[in-house]
Amino acid sequence: MTTVWYPCCAQILRTTQWSLTSPNSARSRCSLKPVWCLRFGTVPQAERLEAFQPTGDPYTDELLSLGVDAGLHRIGCADASPLIEARNAIKRRIDGGLQDEMQFTFRNPKRSTTPNDALDGARSIIVAGLSYATPDVEPPFAVSGRVAKYSWVEYYEPLRRALTVVRDRLRSDGYRALVFADDNSIVDRAVAHRAGIGWYGKNANILVPGAGSFFVLGSVVTTAELATSSIVEDGCGACRRCLDGCPTQAIIEPGVVDARRCLAWLLQKPGVFDRRFRVALGDRMYGCDDCQEVCPPTTRRQLRVTPPEGARPWVDVEALLEMTDEELLDSVDWWYVAQRNPDWVRRNALIVLGNVGELGSPRVRDIVATYLEHPDPMLRAHAVWAAARLGLHELIPMHDTAPLVIEELRDLPEVRTTRAN
């Protein structure tokens, strides 16, 4: 490994007896594990991304190579025994109420942690990741709503296509095989860890050596008995940037997220958006990448991909709030929207408008005024909040009798004086 020495390393050298070569050397070997380099900010955790670790079994490695040729960035193989550790972790989160109203793999922990329930006779699982590590894009609209990287386009579609190539090969060889991606039948991060895709980060994401966590995950469960990949050693060390960097402190301990505080979940959750976290929402319209964007293995990633055609890193919040139901849902057709109810998206947009809408803008004022008269009290309530944030108190109907609106009137936020971060 090539080591680049920084002042912090020189200070460490003066106060320790670690066996290191001279910090003045252009190329030197560090006796410490890469996790320490992550901690002190000197070098990436891995010099390059390896698409897979050879297992030594020709047939397994041929299948993994087939996945890479189909466009997958990382792939590995695990056995299909029950995921007992993941099942116990899910139960602990349910017992603590940390899942909030989230269903997905929480709906049936036994099923989602028993691969044999997904495919009778399952022996192996080929797990893969497709990177969405795209460069950031500047906001283009007067009021821009930020979209998390994984939802700029429908990334699961190309992931499924690539996994289907592997599935079809297994079927042609006489085995049964099924593809699972964005599916509550299997806990994707648990099988990804077992298959050597990466380690569990403290932000609860899978961190791929040399590439970080910007990956969508999927798998092929099969009756074929294949060789298994080696589990990746933890690479977080003493780093806690994700815990400290979460805008709502939703990561309550390493690897444990309280969904009741997580902006990514709150944006999808039906009902009134928790007042405690509306200002922290900032300009986020769908998802939140903060715990990944501060993560050293992710920020120093060796893999960067070009945004696909049609990628939408931002949405026009003003235009969205002026759309019909059909137009709105068509514009975000790959987002998860509870019950496909566009009003949950409008709710989020009203909060973003209150946070980053242009102060004094006639268009912003007209939009808020329209929603203050909306027939749905849930939307009127969020419009009251947005109006107060924007200093448009003269528009607020103080005599609205709907309970949700009365709640908002009792606890109006402070007026925003500048554009929120």
Rg (CA), the chain: 24
Residue 164: predicted pLDDT: 98
Residue 264: predicted pLDDT: 96
Token digits of residue 357: 């809408």
Chain CA centroid to CA 112, Å: 19
pLDDT at 15 over 80: no
Confidence of residue 184 (pLDDT cuts 50, 70, 90): confident
The average pLDDT across 265-275 equals 96
List the beta bridge partners of residue 316: 144
Residue type, 296: P
Q: 320-329: long-range contacts at Cβ-Cβ below 8 A with a sequence spacing of 24 or more?
A: 320/145, 320/345, 320/346, 320/349, 321/346, 321/349, 321/350, 321/353, 321/367, 321/371, 322/367
What gap in Å lies between CA 110 and CA 113, rounded to an integer? Answer: 5
Give the β-pairing of 314-316 and 144-147: antiparallel
Q: Are 154 and 312 in contact (CB under 8 A)?
A: no
Residue 419: predicted pLDDT: 57
pTM of the predicted protein model: 0.86
For Cα atoms 390, 394, 400, give the angle at the middle one, nearest 5 degrees. Answer: 100
Q: Are 395 and 404 in contact (CB under 8 A)?
A: no
The average pLDDT across 351-358 equals 98
pLDDT at 376 over 50: yes
Residue 103: predicted pLDDT: 62
Q: Are 282 and 356 in contact (CB under 8 A)?
A: yes
Residue 22: predicted pLDDT: 36
What gap in Å lies between CA 143 and CA 318, rounded to an integer? Answer: 6
What sign results for the dihedral spanned by CA atoms 357, 362, 365, 366? negative
Question: pLDDT tens-digit profile of 228-249?
Answer: 999 999 999 999 999 999 999 9
Over the chain, what is the mean pLDDT? 88
Give the full edge-to-edge strand order of the sheet including 74-79.
Answer: 74-79, 124-131, 215-222, 177-181
Question: pLDDT tens-digit profile of 41-74?
Answer: 433 444 457 899 999 999 999 999 999 999 999 9
Confidence of residue 32 (pLDDT cuts 50, 70, 90): very low
For residue 38, CA distances in Å to 12, 243, 288 come to 14, 15, 23
The length of the chain, given as a count of residues:
421
Every domain of the chain and the residues it spans: 7-40, 58-222, 248-287+314-410
The average pLDDT across 160-169 equals 98
The average pLDDT across 361-380 equals 98
Task: Please tell me what DSSP assigns to residue 56.
Answer: S
What gap in Å lies between CA 55 and CA 195, rounded to an integer? Answer: 11
What gap in Å lies between CA 12 and CA 6, rounded to an integer? Answer: 10
What gap in Å lies between CA 211 and CA 47, rounded to an integer? Answer: 10
The owner of tokens 């099923």 is 111
What gap in Å lies between CA 149 and CA 223, rounded to an integer? Answer: 34
Residue 142: predicted pLDDT: 96
Which segments within 81-214 are labelled E, that is strand?
A: 124-131, 144-147, 177-181, 199-200, 206-207
245: exposed, middle or buried (C-beta count within 10 Å: 0-12, 13-18, 19+)?
middle
Confidence of residue 258 (pLDDT cuts 50, 70, 90): very high
pLDDT at 309 over 90: no
Question: pLDDT tens-digit profile of 101-141?
Answer: 776 666 688 999 999 999 999 999 999 999 999 999 999 99
More confident residue, 283 or 304: 283
Question: pLDDT tens-digit profile of 402-415?
Answer: 999 999 999 999 99
Furthest CA-CA distance within the chain:
74
Residue 245: predicted pLDDT: 96
Give the β-pairing of 144-147 and 284-286: parallel
What gap in Å lies between CA 412 and CA 398, rounded to an integer? Answer: 11
Residue 307: predicted pLDDT: 85
pLDDT at 301 over 90: no
Residue 229: predicted pLDDT: 98
Q: Are 118 and 181 in contact (CB under 8 A)?
A: no
Q: At residue 215, what are phi and psi to the nearest 5 degrees? A: -140, 140
What gap in Å lies between CA 419 and CA 421, rounded to an integer? Answer: 7
Residue 48: predicted pLDDT: 56
